[in-house]
Structure 1
């Protein structure tokens, strides 16, 4: 009997421990590692545990978590039986303080609008009533002139009063409606602020004894990211190129990151890490037209790829600077340690950092490099009459650059924006430093040396262009100049290059390249001339 009693008591104790209300504890966010997509958040929580099995709720977690990534570090006396994630539904409202403030103001304005509308309706009803009761005297009874004038004056003043009141009330309504529209726009903007929309991690734990323990919790959240961007600074073409490596960090995890230790990693933990395998490649007959379409698409893709390369090769490409938009929250000169491993690089920011959960970019300066560079100018006057300053750098792979936009500051002036693509397959990285208006280039057709001749059943068109260059700078510059002549795609077309003024000629693409050295204040003229012969009964649409 005693044994049965002990078994029942033990069963009751276990059941009672599970039936207890979950014990809830707040966690503190201590450090964050932000990846190109997603972030690892690390929390600490002090938890009071009873002996035996219990359910623990850890609050102030991100609003979205990859549950498979949850890791909980506990003392040896504690065993984690299970983990799960849930949204915090105990809060009635998951809105930021700024959102609640605007929302309350919106309700006040809506009440005021309702009052104004009610006043207008009363005035309009009174005006209708006044209009319906304008009859004076009975059917057979008239009124004297004095009484008629009194009634007329009353109706006139009362109608004027009512109509003026209605007009004023409509104006007041319009003002309130505009206030409401502005507040609704503000609420729409603030709705991106996910502060307060948090999650919970629920743990089933077993402790050998009652104790207070520190839990270390880490997990991955998809609601954060960072992208690289740069400042390219050069005082002149004889000084090194300064590359300021920066990051735009965004997050909407529901938690404001306050005084956290921040790291940025070039890795992506959400990317599939499984190595690919090859299966058997079986050939089969099919529609030849489909194969032709695929080849055509592949050719078009190849052309597009050629057009996005750096503009120092023979493809006629142009890197163009555009005006940059201002960035928010920029902090310069942040101390940072760069760590590298076989798969990625990380930047550890050495001061605590604040980033709000509002999906807006926050700028962090990571590192500054001073890189030797070979500066030269590049121009394709057939497409654009400006000269672009290019910086060539070598050994750039050690910089761990990522693709990103770059602000260009040359000679202490902001000149525009460019793009850095470090995924080039060449040993040299070409960076566009923007336009230089002090180098003037003009390309014109020479009319007297351009014309058409008829030779039997053929006609021959000759084109001559003159390119005039002037270096208005105080120092000599090197200029890579490109132009082109057409390439025949039909045996009935005969293209002849008549003059190229010493250009390097690519006969496959028709690209002409000059490597020029222009002294300060110097001018130079280059002429190109070519002819195209083809049957006179045909036309070439894109000949110029």
Structure 2
């Protein structure tokens, strides 16, 4: 005879706390452990509650340790210990329990909660007043009995009796008036609360809460304890790296943290937290191959007589602080990275960002003041350092702190262990750079060759405070065009530059290291030529 689901005996849920969490890029792997006291034979247990968002197909349970544990450790029950026969999730809609309203609740619900709290406080105050009036009534009866007994024995104290009776009557009158006012206010609150509840019932319908429990069927050869380890995947959880860089002279301290968000329906309290960049949601499928047709044609006579060129901009480096518009996605350099929290972590399930410290490293740092006047007239303090954390630094936002306090925010690119990185610690107000440009164009008569001469002047100045006496080296970067066609030549006129650039790389970036004394000024001049043949168009 089979038993219908409605006829199953009610089971008392066994708590199943979260003990370890592996937070992935867009989900979390939850691990729960508890000790079960099993009886001999096959039995069905109810554990939880657990998050209703748990993924059913990822649910895995095994019994380990203890006298009833699966001795071979594979969880399949082929050993001599207890084995798991079945495990699945059971979900149900239950009414929400009484709880204070949150920020997302409506003003009507918050007003209802305030009236309920006031009604509860008034009822408690009314009970205390009634208790005091009962005590005063007993005290009056005792005084009257004392008066009768004293008059019978001839021990009359009329003055004391009158004083005591007046004091008791005055207190009773005060408490009775207060009780009358309290009852009136309590009736008014009850009437208003009834109206508000009626309006709340008509305007809002509080949905039930979806709860989940784990139903476990096990078989034990003998009674005794066993350790249960249950794991599953849960969405609505993610993490991103975040950093705090503190500059102290020529030393940089880099603190690596994890910003963790989760709204799984339960809190993580004192769990072993692991952060991983694994992307289990990405499918491993090869890219699709598409046709790419290339065709050849002969140039026309017009195209053979002329060369069309176009100036284009290419970003080759970034200088100055970067604007952080949000937390970037996890950039792990194409390899899965795993980080562990050194201490148990607690992350409430409120959907807000919670900072979890991971590692802290200190190393030497080299500072320089850099300016690219074509991009910005600001002089930025750029700090270069070697990754001191011992692990790869994932791309993420950085809070910048130096001697004067918080200096701003920046971004850190992916940095391998032991590799060099740089951070911009904001602009320096003691420097000013003014950029001026001049251009002249000339054409040779016979060859019709066009020569464009451009002159860039950079005026540097330094404002120093009292007590400053050392020179400060300012690194300037200015670019010149780079030609990709043979008909256009770019030449740096070093004899006209003042001074000549210290370096000029293949990307056309000229660099000067200029030493400025306190209150000093200096002008740097850059001159270069663009020479093009007569058939070149577009300059």
Residues 407-456 of structure 1 deviation map (CA, whole Å, 9 limit, x = unaligned): 1122323222111113369942222222222222221125xxx3233332
After superposition, the CA RMSD in angstroms is 4.5
- 1:269, 1:83 → 2: CA distance? 26
Residues 374 and 392, structure 1, Cα contact 8 Å, conserved in 2 = yes
Which residue in 1 is equivalent to 2:341?
A: 348
SS at match of 1:25: coil
Residues 101-144 of structure 1 deviation map (CA, whole Å, 9 limit, x = unaligned): 925825979xxxxxxxxxxxxxxxxxxxxxxxxxxxxxxxxxxx
Cα distance 1:96–1:497, how it changes in 2: closer, same or farther (>3 A)?
farther
Which residue in 1 is equivalent to 2:20?
A: 32
**What TM-score comes out, normalization by structure 1 length?**
0.62
Larger Rg: 2
- 2:397, 2:500 → 1: CA distance? 37
- 2:432, 2:220 → 1: CA distance? 79
SS at match of 2:341: strand
- 1:95, 1:231 → 2: CA distance? 41
- 1:21, 1:27 → 2: CA distance? 19
Residue 512 of structure 1 and its aligned partner are, at CA, apart by: 1.0
- 1:463, 1:94 → 2: CA distance? 76
1:498 to 493, 496, 501: 493
Residues 61 and 231, structure 2, Cα contact 8 Å, conserved in 1 = yes
SS at match of 1:98: coil
- 2:504, 2:424 → 1: CA distance? 24
Residues 365-397 of structure 1 deviation map (CA, whole Å, 9 limit, x = unaligned): 333322111111222111111122111112546
Residues 25 and 47, structure 1, Cα contact 8 Å, conserved in 2 = no
Cα distance 1:511–1:441, how it changes in 2: closer, same or farther (>3 A)?
same
Cα distance 1:455–1:272, how it changes in 2: closer, same or farther (>3 A)?
closer
Which residue in 1 is equivalent to 2:356?
A: 364
Number of aligned residues? 404
SS at match of 1:102: coil
Match status 1:79 vs 2:83: yes
1:263 to 269, 273, 288: 273
- 1:257, 1:393 → 2: CA distance? 36
Match status 1:392 vs 2:381: no
1:201 to 214, 228, 231: 214
Residues 445 and 463, structure 1, Cα contact 8 Å, conserved in 2 = yes
1:433 to 409, 413, 425: 425
Query: Where does 1:376-525 land on structure 2 (aligned, <5 Å)?
Result: 376-394=368-386, 396=388, 398-423=390-415, 427-446=419-438, 450-456=439-445, 457-472=448-463, 474=468, 475-499=470-494, 500=497, 501-506=499-504, 508-525=506-523
Structure 2: gaps spanning 5 or more residues: 70-80, 113-195, 297-311, 328-334
Match status 1:287 vs 2:293: yes
- 2:98, 2:89 → 1: CA distance? 21
**What TM-score comes out, normalization by structure 2 length?**
0.62
Which residue in 2 is equivalent to 1:23?
A: 11
SS at match of 2:62: strand
Cα distance 1:101–1:321, how it changes in 2: closer, same or farther (>3 A)?
closer
- 1:496, 1:425 → 2: CA distance? 41
